[in-house]
Amino acid sequence: MALDRWIALVFIAFCCAYGYLAFFTMDHLLPPFMQRNPVWPSTFPKVLSIMGIVVGLIVLFGLEPSTGEKEPGATDINYRRLTEYKLGQALLLLGLMVIYALALRPAGFLISTTLFLALGSAILGERKWYIMIPVAMIAAGVVWYLVQQVLGIFLRPLPYFMGI
């Protein structure tokens, strides 16, 4: 089976699990006044899971329009030459995302986001630290301000030991 069909199969499995959670586990905790609403918090996840399953099945069964069997161009991903791509960078970025998610609460939003943005750009090849650090700090500060002050959602800016 081709690589795109294997990916479609994994995508279908993910969408099925996501759909199961959306259909069977999200709505039983709703308060009674929300149960009479036409749109529930699980409506968008339900639609996404169904659309994902449909798209995955289209790719899995090969129903998408084919462009013919030709050698992939320079901008296409050729799965026969997968080892020639920068998989190390992609795996490092995925690892950095996991570390960021785990460090978000203990380190605080500002520190963990600044480090994530600076280290992520360094992994991608940027070497001008005097530009990366201020841009990462400004971006983290602006996002924190928008979430905290404009949207009114509490987001711990600094680590626990700083007492904020």
pLDDT per residue over 74-130, tens digit each? Answer: 666 666 777 777 888 889 999 999 999 999 888 889 999 999 999 999 999 888 999
DSSP labels for 10-37? HHHHHHHHHHHHHHHTSSTT--TTTTTS
* pLDDT of 134 above 80: yes
Short-list 106, 114, 100, 104, CA closest to 142: 114
pLDDT digits 0-9 by tens, 52-67: 999 999 988 887 776 6
* pLDDT of 143 above 90: yes
Which stretches within 43-128 are classed as H helix? Answer: 43-60, 87-107, 109-123
Give the pLDDT confidence score for residue 142 in this predicted structure: 94
Give the pLDDT confidence score for residue 117 in this predicted structure: 95
